[in-house]
Structure 1
Amino acid sequence: MSVGFSANHLGIKNWVLDREKAARAITQLENLKIAVLGGDVFEIEDGKIYQTYDSWYCDQKDDENEQNFTKRSILEAKEYILNYPKGKVGFAIVPKT
């Protein structure tokens, strides 16, 4: 996850990845069986990132086991990223630790 744009200057300890790299990162998390709790969307302009204040999240349901939650959270993250309106945007992903 050390590729992309650092969001530290915005007070966010995360990396912002373009759509393609974000989708690949989600696949890597899926392979590692790590759930995705959500993420934030950023506009990318002239090599800089700006907050859009768009985001998504995925909470584990009370009756949902860890395996099912991980699968659902990965699916929701992929759908959000791939269906987000086109444009020069990036995504900061929040994996479950």
Structure 2
Amino acid sequence: MSEGDDASEELPAEFAFAAPLRTDSDNEGAWTVVVWPGSYELLGSRMPVKVAGSVDGVAVSTSVLPFGDGAHVLPLRAEVRRRLAALGIRLGDEVTVRLRRR
């Protein structure tokens, strides 16, 4: 499969994985993300991919972005971060992510 191919017909309906919340850098204003290890092999793409699903039950609808090492990152918007914080989830905590292509 070549880069950028749409392999959605061959993909599972839903992907699930667990990973810690982290920032994408040490700089002020860094994004809060979840790194999806091995996502390139699962998605068949090193391009952004539109997804919807949940992070520990909190709904997300965004794009996973290529991270450069065979992984994608799931950036978390402020509203998602606030909802996770209300559940007691902080940076470094492991979350369960469930995603599907949209």
**Shared topology, TM-score over 0.5?**
no
Q: Which has the higher helix share?
A: 1
TM-score (norm 1): 0.37
TM-score (norm 2): 0.35
